[in-house]
Amino acid sequence: MTAPTGLPRRRRRHGRGIRGPLAWPPVPAMTSRAERFDDLVLEVATSLERAWKRPFPVFELAVEEVPPSDPAPWENAEIPLGRVFAAQGRTPARVVIYRRPIHTRAGDDRDLALLVEHVVTEQIAGLLGVEPHDLDPRYEQD
């Protein structure tokens, strides 16, 4: 007997057929920590743009695991949580948020959300050339 696709039908181990669907509907528990972090960064940036009430200039928002190991000579020895890269030629400005250093500093999910909001606000304010408090009145410098 052959399967509808023309392939021979095989008996599964222990005589059982396929146990369930190979892909199920996505649920929140299926998202990884990295995906949740990316969503959080995007949510904060979107809320900042709505609160700013003017469109942001064109820039790329990126999340990377860790910062490069060779900091620029003018940067201090601390591990950065984010960076702003100026536009060069046709390449738009970039705001990069570093996932691992932020996860390391955050104690729980609430701390993580507050730290991500803090870092994204600082970096986008640096890109716009304004104080973080001007961009987000809820911003508190620790």
- 74 in any annotated domain: no
pLDDT tens sequence across 36-94: 999 999 999 999 999 888 888 999 999 999 988 776 676 666 788 999 999 999 999 99
Q: DSSP character for 83?
A: E
- 13 in any annotated domain: no
37, 116 contact by CB (below 8 A):
yes
Number of separate domains in the chain: 1
- 96 in any annotated domain: no
- 34 in any annotated domain: yes
Q: How confident is the model at residue 12 (pLDDT cuts 50, 70, 90)?
A: low
**Alpha-carbon dihedral sign for residues 120, 122, 126, 131:** positive
The domain in which residue 126 lies consists of: 30-66+102-142
Residue 34 structure tokens: 């990295």
Q: How confident is the model at residue 140 (pLDDT cuts 50, 70, 90)?
A: confident
Q: What is the mean pLDDT of residues 99-103?
A: 95
pTM comes to 0.76
Q: Which helix (H) or strand (E) holds 82?
A: strand 82-85
pLDDT tens sequence across 103-123: 999 989 999 999 999 999 999
Residue 33 structure tokens: 């920590």
Q: What is residue 30's predicted lDDT score, i.e. its pLDDT? A: 72
- 1 in any annotated domain: no
Pick 92 or 140 by higher pLDDT.
Answer: 92
Pick 129 or 1 by higher pLDDT.
Answer: 129
Matching residue, tokens 């536009």: 87
Q: What is residue 1's predicted lDDT score, i.e. its pLDDT? A: 47
- 90 in any annotated domain: no
- 77 in any annotated domain: no
- 139 in any annotated domain: yes
Q: Is residue 129 scored above 80 in pLDDT? A: yes
